[in-house]
Structure 1
Amino acid sequence: MKIYIGSKNPAKILAVQNVFPDSVLETAEVSSKVSLQPYSDEETLEGAINRARECASIEKGVIGIGLEGGVMETSHGLLLCNWGALVDEARNVFIASGARIPLPDEITTELEKGTELGEVMDLYAAKVDVSKKEGAVGIFTNNEISRIEMFTHVMQLLKGQFEFNKIKR
């Protein structure tokens, strides 16, 4: 099975590899068609679906994967959120979401200024490319869960739905 991943981000690629180790994986720079910093659950999901659909249309008979990280406002403050989408050869769309944790006020303040979370996290953690490694989830969970593990969980949810749908047919 050939899978196109709508990202060059190493954390996202490793998550797909973890769940589809026997598949041929290709990466593609595709647009999410949403803000660079998605600011709601809906926008983050839309970005993941857009990436997956664009990947699935690259070549006939392939699967497209879109993984998108964002933030969402709640009555408990700004939460980190993430979504994934898998579009199969028949253009069926499967979606899944994962961990949500609150972000500290100082992160929220920077995001409200229009700065992207990855940029904010690099400054906050005094590291480079946090979004390509442990991610905000890794920083704020004291590395109990990494961005790779978070997206791996989303990928497991997507793969399970995809396989169930094949059995159901």
Structure 2
Amino acid sequence: MIISVGTKNPAKIAAVEAVFKDYSNDIVSVDTDSGVRAQPLSDDETIKGAVNRAVAAFKEFNADIGIGLEGGVHKSEAGLFLCNWGALKANGLEPIIAGGARIRLPDEIAERLLEGEELGPVMDEYTKRQNIRKKEGAVGVFTNGRVDRSEMFAHIIKLLLGQYEYQRNQLENNPK
């Protein structure tokens, strides 16, 4: 089975590898375009980015499964929340979508994002470190390391894989 991941981000690739470790497969990655802003500012935009990445990854390698993962933010009355979405594309199925954990971002970070900056560089400046998005991510920083970006995306991938397995079982047991 070929599983194509629409990113070169090591945290996202590690999440896919962890979840698919029991499958006989080859995991390949490709840098895909999300088709949305570098900093998605809503659930809908973040979902669209994940679906676009999954479909592009699926097509790029003629894969059995294409995975797209996208991080963004979503504004609510309670503040600006980190959001993460994933999509899985496979032959004969519409893209499967799942969302992950949410945490409220500190106002000083939220304000900068709402002014047009991207979370990755803001977090690098905030932590005085480089490539936070490829390591623990903002979620790792703001949860004191209890949940890192790879773990957060692994949860989404488990949700995607479970839905995929369910839908495949339904198709096999109830052919039209």
In structure 2, give the amino acid aligned to 1:152.
A
Which residue in the other structure is 2:174 paired with?
A: none
Q: How far apart are residue 61 of structure 1 and its match?
A: 4.8
In structure 1, give the amino acid aligned to 2:141.
I
Alignment check: 8 A CA contact 1:63 1:86 kept = yes
Runs of 4+ in 1 over 4 A off after TM superposition: none
3-state SS, counterpart of residue 130 of structure 2: coil
How has the CA–CA distance of structure 1 residues 89 and 35 changed in structure 2, closer, same or farther, with 3 Å as cutoff?
same
Q: Supply the distance in 1 between the matched residues of 2:40 and 2:120 (Cα, whole angstroms).
A: 12
- Equivalent position to 1:145, from 147, 161, 165: 147
Which residue in the other structure is 2:117 paired with?
A: 115
TM-score (norm 2): 0.93
TM-score (norm 1): 0.97
Q: Supply the distance in 2 between the matched residues of 1:61 and 1:54 (Cα, whole angstroms).
A: 10
1:11 matched to 2:11? The reply is: yes
Q: How far apart are residue 100 of structure 1 and its match?
A: 0.5
3-state SS, counterpart of residue 86 of structure 2: strand
| Equivalent residues, number | 169
* Deviation readout 1:24-78 (Å, 9 max, x if unpaired): 0111111100000000000000000000011111243521100000000000000
Unaligned runs of 5+ in 1: none
Which residue in the other structure is 1:62 paired with?
A: 64
Which residue in the other structure is 2:50 paired with?
A: 48
Larger Rg: 2
Unaligned runs of 5+ in 2: 172-176
How has the CA–CA distance of structure 1 residues 168 and 91 changed in structure 2, closer, same or farther, with 3 Å as cutoff?
closer
Q: How far apart are residue 131 of structure 1 and its match?
A: 0.3
Q: Supply the distance in 1 between the matched residues of 2:61 and 2:31 (Cα, whole angstroms).
A: 14
